[in-house]
């Protein structure tokens, strides 16, 4: 009897131990960590002076650390891709079937990934209303948004305010800042021996020249269709002809085919031309540097404005590009939900503060504005305002063949600027060569 009771007691103990193990295992399962891989370029970014780093190496690490605190049970592994060799890190991850859960990088890397085969439809997970519409539209296809920008970079038309003061000229209101008005100003500047602007055409068409074409209503692509160019129009021809007129009349700096963008920055920041397209980072760095090198006696006053427009065009779009954040669409919906939350975190106000304050990037949200650090500089404030008012041109950065198509300009534009071919001949030939490249 006692033996039977002992056996029963042992059996009950074993059963209890079994269910305890099951219960323990179940508890552990609920506490399992979800690990997300976040890829970005570069290296750890510095913190604003005096800010507590909380022990993190850079501000991206800090924001990701806060994301982990807000989402217990989630661990984010930050992977810096090889900045000098493009996307080799991500390419290797793709090749072994291990794509990053979230990837933040320059827009051009995502040409083949902004679709249902790879990316989450972010509008199904995130409220997109706080983001600036024209930026979200760039990454929306067939009604679905596959990326959100977390850093907007834009350029503007830099002008030397001290030169204007010296000739007694006051900048007109934006509606009156037309190409006709710029021609009149150019004549005044020519009279005192000052080139009104730069048309650096040595390397063909580039983002700093395209605003002159958009000022007349021309465009490179139409309605986001990158399968063919839309530049062979009377409006675009008028823009190209205006650029050439500025040079031919002695208004712009001479020998445009011998000048590139580096020359434009150097000549503007040494006070040798009145205006040029560029970014505020160029002026903010090079003005004090030119003084330090003895190329400039003292810094001059400047601002950024829209490039002049030709009515009925009201605003001339600026050039720009973005860093965008994309989430991989996995078969695990819980992982998708958390990846989308990570996208939202890395495009949110906390991250945008560092982008603007430290590196001078422009906000991508309507509900956030930074007014400290790099974002407090007058040049930054000026470009941020005009980029919002004017919008940004579509130069085909998300077209896989856009660079191939652009190569046709390298011979055609210098030939046009030299007077060897007409604007009609240039545009006809470019249309043929560019569309052939885009069709390949």
pLDDT, tens only, 351-366 = 999 999 998 999 999 9
Q: Is residue 27 scored above 60 in pLDDT?
A: no
Length of the chain, please?
440
**For residues 271 and 276, what is the distance between their CA atoms, to the nearest angstrom?**
11
pLDDT, tens only, 373-385 = 999 999 999 999 8
The percent of residues above 70 in pLDDT, for the chain, comes to 92
pLDDT of residue 224: 84
* Range name among 48-52, 83-87, 348-352, 396-400 with the lowest pLDDT average: 83-87
**For residues 304 and 159, what is the distance between their CA atoms, to the nearest angstrom?**
6
Query: Which residues, other chains included, contact 200 with Cβ-Cβ below 8 Å and sequence gap of 6+?
Result: 208, 209, 256, 259, 260, 261, 263, 264
pLDDT of residue 83: 67
Give 103's strand partners.
39, 326
Burial of 33 (0-12, 13-18, 19+ CB in 10 A): exposed
What are the φ and ψ backbone dihedral angles of 254, each rounded to 5 degrees? -70, 170
pLDDT of residue 438: 94
Alpha carbons within 13 angstroms on the beta-carbon side of residue 162 total: 11
Q: Residues 216-220: what's their mean pLDDT?
A: 98
**For residues 123 and 140, what is the distance between their CA atoms, to the nearest angstrom?**
10
pLDDT, tens only, 70-87 = 999 999 999 998 767 777
Angle at 284 between CA 46 and CA 306, to 5 degrees: 120
Q: Is residue 8 scored above 70 in pLDDT?
A: no
Q: Is residue 3 scored above 80 in pLDDT?
A: no
Q: Residues 299-318: what's their mean pLDDT?
A: 97
Give 40's strand partners.
80, 104
Boundaries of every domain in the chain: 33-154+321-390, 156-317+401-439
What are the φ and ψ backbone dihedral angles of 289, each rounded to 5 degrees? -70, -40
**For residues 267 and 197, what is the distance between their CA atoms, to the nearest angstrom?**
10
**Regarding predicted confidence, which is higher, 205 or 86?**
205
Examine residue 323 and say whether the peptide bond preceding it is cis (omega within 30 degrees of 0): no
**For residues 107 and 111, what is the distance between their CA atoms, to the nearest angstrom?**
8
Angle at 173 between CA 378 and CA 191, to 5 degrees: 90
Of 338, 347, 343, the C-alpha closest to 103 is 343
pLDDT of residue 10: 39
**For residues 67 and 32, what is the distance between their CA atoms, to the nearest angstrom?**
17
Q: Considering only the top CATH level, what class is 156-317+401-439?
A: alpha beta
pLDDT, tens only, 399-419 = 878 889 999 999 999 999 999
**For residues 154 and 281, what is the distance between their CA atoms, to the nearest angstrom?**
10
Structure token pair of residue 423: 């604007």
pLDDT of residue 95: 92
Q: Residues 233-243: what's their mean pLDDT?
A: 98
CATH superfamily for 33-154+321-390 is: Periplasmic binding protein-like II (3.40.190.10)
Residue with the two structure tokens 């427009």: 309
């Amino acid at each position: 009897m006692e033996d039977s009771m002992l056996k029963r007691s042992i059996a009950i103990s074993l059963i209890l131990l079994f269910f305890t193990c099951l219960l323990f295992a179940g508890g552990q399962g609920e506490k399992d960590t979800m690990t997300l891989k976040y890829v970005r370029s570069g290296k750890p970014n510095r913190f604003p002076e005096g800010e507590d780093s909380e022990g993190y190496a850079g501000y991206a690490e800090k924001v990701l650390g806060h994301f982990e605190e807000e989402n217990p049970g989630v661990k984010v592994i930050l992977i810096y891709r090889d900045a000098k060799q493009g996307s080799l890190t991500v390419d290797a991850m793709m090749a072994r079937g291990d794509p990053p859960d979230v990837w933040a990088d320059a827009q051009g890397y995502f040409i083949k990934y902004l679709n249902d085969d790879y990316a989450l439809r972010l509008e199904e997970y995130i409220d997109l209303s706080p983001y600036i519409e024209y930026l979200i539209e760039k990454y929306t296809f067939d009604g679905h948004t596959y990326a959100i920008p977390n850093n907007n970079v834009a350029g503007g038309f830099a002008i030397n305010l001290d030169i204007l003061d010296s000739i007694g000229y006051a900048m007109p209101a934006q509606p009156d800042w037309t190409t006709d008005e710029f021609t009149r100003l150019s004549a005044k500047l020519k009279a005192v021996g000052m080139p009104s602007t730069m048309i650096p055409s040595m390397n063909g068409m580039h983002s700093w020249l395209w605003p002159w074409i958009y000022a007349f209503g021309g465009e490179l692509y139409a309605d986001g269709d990158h399968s063919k160019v839309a530049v062979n129009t009377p409006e675009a021809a008028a823009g190209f002809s205006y650029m050439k007129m500025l040079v031919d009349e002695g208004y712009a700096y001479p020998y445009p085919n011998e000048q590139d963008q580096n020359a434009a920055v150097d000549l503007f920041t040494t006070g040798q031309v009145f205006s040029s397209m560029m970014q505020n980072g160029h002026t903010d760095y090079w003005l004090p540097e030119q003084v330090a090198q003895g190329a400039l006696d003292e810094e001059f006053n400047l601002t950024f404005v829209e490039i002049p427009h030709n009515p009925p065009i009201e605003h001339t779009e600026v050039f720009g590009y973005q860093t965008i954040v994309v989430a991989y669409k996995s078969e695990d919906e819980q992982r998708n939900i958390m990846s989308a939350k990570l996208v939202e975190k890395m495009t949110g106000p906390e991250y945008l503060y560092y982008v603007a304050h430290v590196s001078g990037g422009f906000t991508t949200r309507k509900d956030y504005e930074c007014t400290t650090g790099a974002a407090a500089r007058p040049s930054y404030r000026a470009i941020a305002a005009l980029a919002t008012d004017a919008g940004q041109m579509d130069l085909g950065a998300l077209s896989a063949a856009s660079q191939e198509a652009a190569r046709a300009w390298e011979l055609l534009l210098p030939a046009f600027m030299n007077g060897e071919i007409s604007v009609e001949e240039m545009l006809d030939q470019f249309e043929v060569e560019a569309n052939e490249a885009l069709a390949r």
